[in-house]
Amino acid sequence: MNSNDDIKIEEIINSDKLQYHEKRANLAREAENLLSYVDVSDQVKSAMKSGILHDMNEGNRPYRPRYILPDYKKFLEQGSAYLNIEPPKDFYEAVNALLILYRYVPSITGYPVYVGQIDDCLEPFADTVTPIELEKLMRMLLINIDRTLPSAFVHMNIGPKETRVGRLVIQLERELKKTIPNVSLKYDPDITPDDFAKYAIESALDVIKPYFVNHRLMSSQLGDDYGVVSCYNTLRIGGGAHTLCRINLKEISKSAENYNDFKENKLKDAVIALAELTNAKTKYLVEKSRFFESSFLANEGIIDLEKFTTMPAVYGLYECVEILSGEKMGHSEMANSMAEEIVKLFYDYIKSEPAVYCGGTEGKHGVHAQSNIDTDVDVTPGVRIKYGEEPGVFDHMLLSSKLHKYFDTGCSDIYVFEETAKGNIDGMLEIIKGAIKNGIRILSVNCESSEFIRITGYLVKKKDIERYFNGGLLREDSVVLGAESLMPGHLLDRKVKGLNGSVSK
């Protein structure tokens, strides 16, 4: 240990800003990083150094998967020997069992990124209590999640069927106006009743929750047992993602002599490095840290290594296209087709690289569009259009739909509507149906008057951002992330969709 490490560790221990559990998490990270990095080639090291390849600061020696999606339903059916929990017999016991298990689900943040397909988990118990008890218990569950798992990457799923539990989640989240958990509604126009979809839209325009997930598209790629976790990652239930590393398309394009050089050489080299790093971390996690051998979740079948995969990702497509073509995505046919060509090429390249422990996506790497972290400057998340540069909303959606289909482990766009949308939910439903029909994978509709704002991939309260900049103490780690990513990403410039037409003719 050198004296630099001493100082860092002392700083953490003596901080008057960090809570105890935050100190503990930071100390664990420092301890992990005292060891050398997992073994990688010089090519990988130099790609990381030049900013082309980025490991998301996951740490030097992975010892838990980045994202885990426990099969909560199975857990409720079988109980857990390790936790000494019998299969629950009523709603009370089921909620209690879930709350216990949440505390044992690791992830890169230390908090579970997935708290379950809650309607499938709890609806079977709904008849064991009165409607008043049902609402009370759901309220307690949601408040408990918000207070004990203070990370805006915590994600809950409902739908596509309408259930009492699903409806209560929407109703209560709208009423409680809290950030956690994120809620995604799996939406299929043939299964989800219009009335339920409209109920969800009204809520989304108010509190941004739920997001709408293209259930037909998702289930055709991952099967019905998929979940949406963290910031729009789509993975199999009972599985998860070992790691997420990403390449910066903007940086790659800067290193290319021309478009051909980009396609034939530079992108290819970056993908090779990306795959190598991804495999090295995954192998370390599985074979050296032996997570799947030691975890009771794996031993009891609540997770299954076979259902896990990796999530090599891209970001900065917007700038990449701008550099290579001199034109702007969303505003030029040429830029749009270049964007699609690049995404398809990335898909083909990464799918043909060797992959380890990727049973969750048929033995090949998962493909992901990463929606930025707080330290990114002047680079647009994933394959989105730069904030403030979006074209008309339908042109935007048509472009998204061409790009989204390649990202089987997740890709999303945010569409912001004016407040008048609240007065025309039927119209909003038409737009969402159009988006789903055209192959948009996940969409979140936001209203400009909403109290919440979606930072690149997660959700924070506008009030909390103000509080952060005024030096107040915050409970949620992601609010801190959010407030900082506001600055570099210019998020508040985001274009308001809808109309600004005449109010009187």
Partner 1 sequence: MEASVNRIIQSSLVDGPGSRTVIFMQGCNMSCLYCHNPETQNASPKAKHYSLEELFDLIEKHQDFIEGVTFSGGECTLQHEFIIAFYKLLHERTKLTLFLDTNGLVSSDIMIDLINHSDGLMIDLKAFSQDCHRALTYTDNSAVKENIRLAAQSGKLHEVRLTLVEDFNDDPDELSAYFDFVLALPGDTRLKIIPYSPFGVKGSFGHKRAYPKEKYDLLVAMGQRILKDRVLKVWYNWRK
Per CB under 8 A, residues contacting partner 1 are 392-395, 397-398, 417-421, 423-424, 426-428, 430-431, 433-435, 437-438, 449, 497-505
Min CB(268)–partner 1 separation in Å = 34
Task: Check: CB of residue 412 under 8 Å from CB of residue 446.
Answer: no
Rounded-to-integer distance, Cα 468 and Cα 473, Å:
7
Beta bridge partners of 211: 184
The residue among 209 and 497 lying less far from partner 1, judged by its C-beta, is 497
Cα–Cα distance, 414 to 442 (Å, whole number): 9
Strand stretches in 371-450, DSSP E: 413-417, 442-447
Residue closer to partner 1 (CB basis): 1 or 503: 503
Other CB atoms within a 10 A radius of the CB of residue 337 amount to 13
* Nearer to partner 1 (CB atom), residue 427 or residue 488: 427
Instruction: Tell me how crowded residue 415 is: count the other CB atoms within 10 A of its CB.
Output: 22
Q: Shortest distance, CB of residue 199 to partner 1, whole angstroms?
A: 18
CB nearer to partner 1: give 121 or 432.
Answer: 432
Cis upstream peptide for 88 (omega within 30°): no
Nearer to partner 1 by Cβ, of 288 and 437: the residue is 437
User: In this complex, which beta carbon is closest to partner 1, that of residue 141 or of residue 398?
Assistant: 398
Q: How many CA atoms lie within 13 A of 186 on its CB side?
A: 27
CB of 414 vs partner 1, minimal distance in Å: 15
What minimum distance in Å lies between the beta carbon of 303 and partner 1? 39
Going 331 to 452 to 112 to 164, the CA torsion angle's sign is negative
For residues 138 and 169, the answer to whether their CB atoms sit within 8 Å is yes
151 vs 444 by CB, closer to partner 1: 444
Number of H helices, E strands in the chain: 21, 17
CB of 192 to partner 1, least distance (A): 17
CA–CA gap between residue 163 and residue 455 (Å, rounded): 30
Nearest approach, Cβ of residue 391 and partner 1 (Å): 9
Minimum distance of partner 1 from residue 503's CB (angstroms): 6
